[in-house]
Amino acid sequence: MLYLCCVKKKFNKRKQDFIPQKQEKPDDQEQHNEQAITPTWPMRLNRYLAQSGVCSRRNARTHIEAGEVKVNDEVVLEMGHRVYQSDKVSFQEKEISPRKKTYILLNKPKNTITTTSDPQGRRTVMDVLGKSGEFLYPVGRLDRQTTGLLLLTNDGDLAQKLAHPSYEISKLYAVETDKPVSQKDIVQLSRGVKLEEGIAIADEADYVKDKSKHHVGVKIHFGWNRVVRRMFEALGYKVIKLDRVIYAGLTKLNLPRGKFRHLKDSEIRQLKHFTPKKKKQ
């Protein structure tokens, strides 16, 4: 029987995510310098939108060509239009401006929607963040019942990068099922489970150490909707609890459920240094 934290080397790296660790000492010397970058003027319009947290520079083209952006109350259709500090810029009739880059890591609680607002009045991640979440947008999604790590930022370029499939951002989930998971199905998760979009393959899957066979750790790098839940459902299991414990190398260590923190400079640099994976021939 293999366990998530067994002696095999390929599982050792994940040990920290399922076994309590000693609390790390805060690094008082590290400042959030990258979060206070001053905009340079004049600025290209597509960059202005990205630095305002509206979207990435790549996606700015769509909004600009659709006539959703105005400069000094005039619709502008060129991405390279130069914007000066004194200019008034609006997106979809709402005034915007470049802001310092902010990166927040949230340990999302249950029964919380991963959107900036909800027409049905349900609790959103913005309600958890309060004023700290102004002008921030979640990177990717966690469904309402799923708990765990969620990154929020106004850095549109970074958000686009982390969401793009070519970067294969790694995520590790702790799964609790309604019945014991067989060894055969543990193996099947890594071999692939057929879903509507295609074959969903876990990078790694194993039992969580010192827990029953109801508890499985699953590492994936793609972001299909509710993919982990559907993988287990396809194998005949109902997911009782689903918790994301690692996202892009960031962990929940010392971050209680429903709490959040700003990323350190070293963590920001780590996210920005991700590079696209080469396609296999």
Provide the annotated active-site residues. 143
Q: Where are the alpha helices (DSSP H) in the chain?
A: 9-12, 45-51, 57-65, 125-129, 156-163, 183-191, 227-234, 265-272
Backbone φ, ψ for residue 160 (5° rounding): -65, -40
DSSP H or E stretch at residue 82: strand 82-83
- CB count, 10 Å around CB of 19? 12
Structure tokens at 244: 């994301």
CB 90 within 8 Å of CB 70: yes
Interatomic CA distance for residues 161 and 167, integer angstroms: 7
- CB count, 10 Å around CB of 217? 25
Interatomic CA distance for residues 90 and 111, integer angstroms: 34
DSSP H or E stretch at residue 216: strand 215-220
